[in-house]
Chains A and B, each alone.
Chain A
Amino acid sequence: MKNWNLRLKLGLVILSFFMILGFFFPLLYSGNVTEWSTYPTNLKPSMEHFLGTNSLGQDIFWLLCNSIRTSFLIGLFVAFFSTLIGILAGLVAGLKGGAVDRIVMLLADTFIVIPSLPILILIGSLTKGTASLFLIGGVLIAFNWPWPARQVRSMALTLRERDYISIARFSGESTIRILVKEIFPFVKDWSIGNFINTILVAISSESGLAVIGMSSNSKATLGTMIYWANQHQAMLGGKWVWIGSPVVAICLIFIGLFLLMTGQQQYSALRRGK
């Protein structure tokens, strides 16, 4: 803790701030945040409404907290699984080669070549606009694992040319052990980067869908929050808190994650005594 660098600390502060907003505060609010005309509309920020209320008569603060939670969950869910699947697939493909490689890459390529947004929109209209966030998450995973897979594979391909890997392989170590012990360190940093980026991709894809009304608009996510604000011309109408808060939230969450990532790299670099 004591010799953590600034980035690491800052990142953790920002993230934990949002974690608290997203996972603790919602517990304090009993009502249903998405319910309309719960309060008078368009109130200025005040003691009982920290961020005021919006044109739908929702309390922006509580809405924001819940939105942060949902978006966080989507982001983590998607990022975790797509990165995990991607890395494993990529490593296995890269190291085992042969049929395994071909099959994995065939799948990966198929998903890479199919444009994701149109499909997401298709799904959107398929599921009649009530795409459960879970489904959206699933689709996002399906479209996001191939990228790390390819990347990691090309890394693995170069790695497996390095002597000690082949040594390890000839000395009969199990692939898993090689993966974990010899190779993972090399793809670690990239993977963390990818993980964090995927969180963002997930969050912003969801809000991208939401903006064109294809997400599940009755649920509270940062995306749908922006959607409703847009629907009510918050930007031109200068309802900055309403439209601004989710945007700022997204940015800060990402920046927090990013600082965390780079900070962690510096930290581990220092540990390695480099």
Chain B
Amino acid sequence: MFEINHVSARYNMLTSFVNAVDDVNFNIEKNEIFGIAGESGCGKSTLLKVMYDLVDYPLEISSGSVRLYNGNSETNYIETGKLKECWWKDISYISQGAMNVMNPITKVENQFFDTVRRGYHKKMTKKQIREKVAAYMKELELSPDVLKAYPHQLSGGMRQRVLIALATFLNPRIILADEPTTALDVVVQKDILTMLMSVQKRMKNSMVIVSHDMGVHYQVTNRIGIMYAGQMIEIGPTDEIFSHPKHPYTQMLISALPKVGDNSQKEGIPGTPPNLKSPPIGCRFAPRCKYAADECRKIRPQMVPVGDKHFAACLLLEHAKGGNE
């Protein structure tokens, strides 16, 4: 329903290119919450920008495209370049750090007004809109007088909530959330996440959540894609990934998580991600991988099915499969 086919994107630094997203390819189903995980700088936010078609200098798409299908038809879709027109109506975006994303000098409700006017409600009077918005706020258990406040008068969490309300108000088919919970304390995080989930449940639309925090993914998402150095290295149902991580990198991520009743010292991930200006030829994780063999440094691994709806890109896994046959 939302298709990301073989997208590569890079930052143009005049003299050099940073390949932030490299040949990423996956789908997002209707009515699911898809998580994108990975260390910071692995290109997940960039990928999200590409998905939202928010591509302007110095970012540029070098190949591939993104398609948003209407209903189930195979032919009727909106593609990269056109997505802008259906922003907020079909696809909306909850951005990172809600601090400064609202116009500091106008009341919250005004921020709704231009949004609404954007939507199908051009003819609506201010009064009608105000009522509609107020009603919607109630649904989300937000007090309507938030609307009368100025952004700087709201707490961070409240702003994030308002933002979610803003992004979901027109009931888009897909919502992209970029680190929705960073810079919020744990309690507030929890509320935000529940809010996201409930909204999604009601609207039955799809949602993409980018976060470096595996905990978030564990609580919210149905499926996860793990990114490393601009590449998608493993995709699968959330519990699958958490229970049987296949890719060595994923395994490290998971094992780095605290588990209940286990106080053993956690091994962090040794080494640092490669420089994306000149990434290694072979498997990009090879330099940090304890299983890495010589060929890992030569051949680039492909995505292979490693279980039900579960794929990973690692030569070792490819061989494992070969072995099985």
Contact = CB atoms under 8 A, between A and B. Distances in A.
B100 A162 contact: yes
A162 B15 contact: no
Contacts of B152: 161-162
Contacts of A3: 13-15
Contact of B99 (A2, A158, A164, A273): A164
Interface residues of B, number: 10
A3 B58 CA distance: 14
A145 B269 CA distance: 53
A76 B112 CA distance: 49
Nearest to A161: B152
A163 B15 contact: no
Contacts of B15: 2-3
Nearest to B14: A3
Interface in B1-57: 11, 13-15
A161 B13 CA distance: 35
A128 to B, nearest CB: 52
B81 interface: no
A270 B15 CA distance: 12
A164 B15 CA distance: 35
A169 to B, nearest CB: 15
Given A2-B15, A3-B14, A3-B15, A163 B99 contact: yes
B168 to A, nearest CB: 24
A129 to B, nearest CB: 50
A162 B100 CA distance: 8
A33 B59 CA distance: 56
Interface in B57-78: 58
Interface in A150-170: 158, 161-164
B104 A163 contact: no
Contacts of A161: 104, 152
Contacts of A164: 99
B119 interface: no
A109 B95 CA distance: 42
B40 to A, nearest CB: 14
Interface in B191-223: none
A163 B13 CA distance: 32
Nearest to B99: A163
Nearest to B18: A273
A3 B15 CA distance: 7
Interface centre among A158, A163, A164 (most CB of B within 10 A): A163
A158 B105 CA distance: 10
Contacts of A158: 104
B133 to A, nearest CB: 24
A3 B14 CA distance: 7
Contact of A162 (B13, B14, B58, B99): B99
A191 B156 CA distance: 30
Instruction: Please list the 7 inter-chain residue pairs (A to B) with the smallest Cβ-Cβ separation, ordered nearest first.
Output: A161-B152, A3-B14, A163-B99, A3-B15, A163-B156, A2-B15, A162-B99
Given A163-B99, A163-B156, A273-B11, 14 more contacts: A2-B15, A3-B13, A3-B14, A3-B15, A158-B104, A161-B104, A161-B152, A162-B99, A162-B100, A162-B152, A164-B99, A270-B14, A270-B58, A273-B58
15 contacts: A2-B15, A3-B13, A3-B14, A158-B104, A161-B104, A161-B152, A162-B99, A162-B100, A162-B152, A163-B99, A163-B156, A164-B99, A270-B58, A273-B11, A273-B58
